[in-house]
Amino acid sequence: MTALEFFLISILYFWASSTALSLGIGYYTIYRPVVSGFMTGLILGDPFLGMMTGAVVNIIYMNFVSTGGSFKGDQCLTAVVAAAAAVKLGVGPVEAASFAYPFGYLGILIWKYRLNINSIFVNKYEKDYENGKNPDISFYDGLYPQLLLYVMSSIIVGAAFLIMSVFDNIIMDYYENIKLFLFMAGMFLVSFSVINILSNLKNKYAYLSFEIFFLAVIIFDISSYWFFLAAAIILFVLSNKSIRIHNKRSNKNNNISNKDLMYSWFIWMNFSHSCYSYDRLQGLAFAHSMKNIFKKLYKDKDEVSRAIHSHAEFFNTEPNMGTPIHGYIISVEEQSSLNANHTDTAYIKKGMMGIAAGLGDSYTQVVLTPLFISLSVMMCLDGIYIAAFLPILYLAGSILFISYSGWMNGYYTGREYLMERINTVKNSKVKKHFLHIFSGILGVAAAKLILSGLEPSNTVYTLEAVALSAAAYWVIKRSKR
């Protein structure tokens, strides 16, 4: 590996795992193995092999949900290492995925300490504020934590590749001997993940959907283009096309322009998890997003600093679904600056943030992400790479639309918009039929993985790995009871 390759990969890993500086969609796109695998492959010279490997890793992490900074393993680092092993060492995708799996635990170190370390910036900001220094929130929420994160990410990537280089020779010399072991371990992980997902769905029609699509593909080897087309049509029919973005000004007194609103949304989307800490979670990010608004509302520097600081307390919500809160708070702050009376926004924020988080996590992370990512994975495992980007682009677009429309509508129509949003999500037909569509896609993906370039001699081993994982799952479930 050259120094340039290392540098680019460390930037990639930093960018993907920071979830910042990517307009809020990095977490749904570049952080996902199918995309980070592609990008690693691009850097190392074989993008589609990287993407295929990433797709295998992605199945292992398909049921991944993060709520309030809780994490299992780092899927992005696993994908980076797996793609590098596949491209540089010529290891097969399944073998690469199992080889890279333990590295996921190296990756969570960052998440574990990041929430602790970021408290440094929170404390420094508080101290500067108390000393009347009018601290610039963009440094404490943006620049400093991101710089530190870059250093941490490159150390982790460095460590991962150092460990990998130790294994390089062993793998190259004995690959033929351990190939079977890695292959079976990879199939075991994939199969374990699929069994886990299906059993958590707890829906017999979802099992049926999985079985039907899985068997249909195994027996008839149908191209995944057909399933992609069918899913696209079904999702289009089910999707809600009535959501509008309000941006008509009714009140001539407004100081805040649409451009100001857009800019503060832009800051929020880029930095919502930038200084994620145990004490405040997204508190500093909320304050950061209000900076340009208060600069517009108040002329006095101390007053601007005080107003920003008043929004730096503990805040946590689902960053896209929760944006009506921000829009609404901006309108409240604008009114209180005009009437020169102070409204207690802390109480409103706290009440709304939990609700938006519960609503948001159960939709963006639990429904939209697995739906579109699994579509992409399915295409990759069938060797269709370019079209595999379509679901990812669509997912990114949906996330942006959800967050932007919430921001604007929260400002223009008030806190009632959160109520409207709750009802929209509750009545979502995509959500209602999610289980059946998703398990069907998963069935196709699993079948495609088994069919994709596996030599017939591997069939028995695949069956053995699947049987082993089923047995392991059963044992673990029983021991937990």
* 73-112 binders of other proteins (CB under 8 A): none
- CA-angle at 464, arms to 461 and 466, nearest 5°: 110
Could you list the beta-strand ranges (E) of 327-434.
none
Burial-class residue 290 by CB neighbours within 10 Å (0-12, 13-18, 19+).
Answer: buried
Distance CA 469, CA 473 (A): 6
* Residue 351 engages other proteins in binding (rule: CB under 8 A): yes
* Residue 399 engages other proteins in binding (rule: CB under 8 A): no
Minimum distance of other proteins from residue 200's CB (angstroms): 9
Minimum distance of other proteins from residue 91's CB (angstroms): 32
x/- mask, other proteins, residues 111-140, rule CB under 8 A, reads ----x-------------------------
* Residue 196 engages other proteins in binding (rule: CB under 8 A): no
* Residue 415 engages other proteins in binding (rule: CB under 8 A): yes
* Residue 354 engages other proteins in binding (rule: CB under 8 A): yes
Minimum distance of other proteins from residue 355's CB (angstroms): 4
CB closer to other proteins out of 69 and 383: 69
CB closer to other proteins out of 178 and 435: 435
281 forms beta bridges with: 277, 315
Distance CA 409, CA 133 (A): 35
Minimum distance of other proteins from residue 93's CB (angstroms): 30
Minimum distance of other proteins from residue 217's CB (angstroms): 31
CB closer to other proteins out of 127 and 249: 127
Of the candidate spans 32-40, 254-262, 278-286, 382-390, the one that interacts with other proteins by CB under 8 A turns out to be 278-286
Report DSSP letters for 278-310, one per residue: TTTBTHHHHHHHTHHHHHHH--SHHHHHHHHHT
* Residue 366 engages other proteins in binding (rule: CB under 8 A): yes
* Residue 67 engages other proteins in binding (rule: CB under 8 A): yes
Distance CA 76, CA 153 (A): 11
Minimum distance of other proteins from residue 357's CB (angstroms): 4
* Residue 352 engages other proteins in binding (rule: CB under 8 A): yes
CB closer to other proteins out of 224 and 282: 282
Q: Which of 65, 238, 262, 384 binds other proteins (CB under 8 A)?
A: 65
Of the candidate spans 351-359, 368-376, 396-404, 464-472, the one that interacts with other proteins by CB under 8 A turns out to be 351-359
* 281-320 binders of other proteins (CB under 8 A): 281, 313-314, 316-318
CB closer to other proteins out of 358 and 383: 358
* 352 CB-near residues (< 8 Å, 6+ apart): 317, 322, 324, 325, 328, 415, 418
> How distant is the alpha carbon of residue 423 from its chain centre?
24
Of the candidate spans 15-23, 83-91, 276-284, 390-398, the one that interacts with other proteins by CB under 8 A turns out to be 276-284
* Residue 419 engages other proteins in binding (rule: CB under 8 A): yes
Q: Which of 357, 395, 402, 466 binds other proteins (CB under 8 A)?
A: 357
* Residue 383 engages other proteins in binding (rule: CB under 8 A): no
315 forms beta bridges with: 281
Q: DSSP label at 366? A: I
**CB under 8 Å, gap of 24 or more: what pairs does 259-264 form?**
260/292, 260/293, 260/296, 261/327, 261/330, 261/407, 261/408, 261/411, 263/292, 264/289, 264/290, 264/291, 264/292, 264/293, 264/326, 264/330
Give the number of residues in contact with other proteins, rule: CB under 8 A.
Answer: 35
Burial-class residue 431 by CB neighbours within 10 Å (0-12, 13-18, 19+).
Answer: middle
* Residue 418 engages other proteins in binding (rule: CB under 8 A): yes
b/e burial code for range 452-461 (CB count within 10 A of at least 16 → b)? bebeeebeee
Q: Which of 196, 358, 452, 468 binds other proteins (CB under 8 A)?
A: 358
Cβ–Cβ under 8 Å, residues 57 and 381: no
* Residue 433 engages other proteins in binding (rule: CB under 8 A): no
Is the Cα torsion angle 403, 408, 409, 410 positive or negative in sign? positive
* 321-350 binders of other proteins (CB under 8 A): 347, 350
277 forms beta bridges with: 281
Residue with tokens 């379509």: 390
**Residues found near other proteins in the complex (CB under 8 A):** 65, 67-70, 115, 278-281, 313-314, 316-318, 347, 350-355, 357-362, 366, 415, 418-419, 422-423, 426
